[in-house]
Amino acid sequence: MTVNDAFSTGSLAERGRCHTRLRELLADRAAILHAPERESLLDAADALLFDEPDGAQKRAAAREVLAALVDSDRWLPDPAAEVAAALDGCSAARYVRA
């Protein structure tokens, strides 16, 4: 699945909408997330949105957080994939998920 299946990348406005969606998704799951997990996901989204040099590294770390949440059965795969797609949509780069 490409990110563009769910979220469009490109303009700052489109990426901003993905960032807003990510915040909404995290707010909906606030009871499940620990503060450091939430901060890691938001930090990655911010770095991608503003095209910071360490954005790709922060994205990878955020994806590890999502994988750990699924592996520990704290999140189901589909909601985690939705958050991952929103995260990827924050970036000017196009990411393809296998």
**pLDDT tens digits, residue range 71-97?**
999 999 999 999 999 999 999 876 545
pLDDT tens by residue, 11-60: 889 999 999 999 999 999 999 999 999 999 999 999 999 999 999 999 99
End-to-end CA distance of the chain: 7
Residue type present at position 47: A
Residue 94 confidence (pLDDT): 64
The pLDDT of residue 29 is 93
pTM of the model: 0.83
DSSP conformation class of 52: -
Task: pLDDT band for 6, please (50, 70, 90 cuts).
Answer: very low
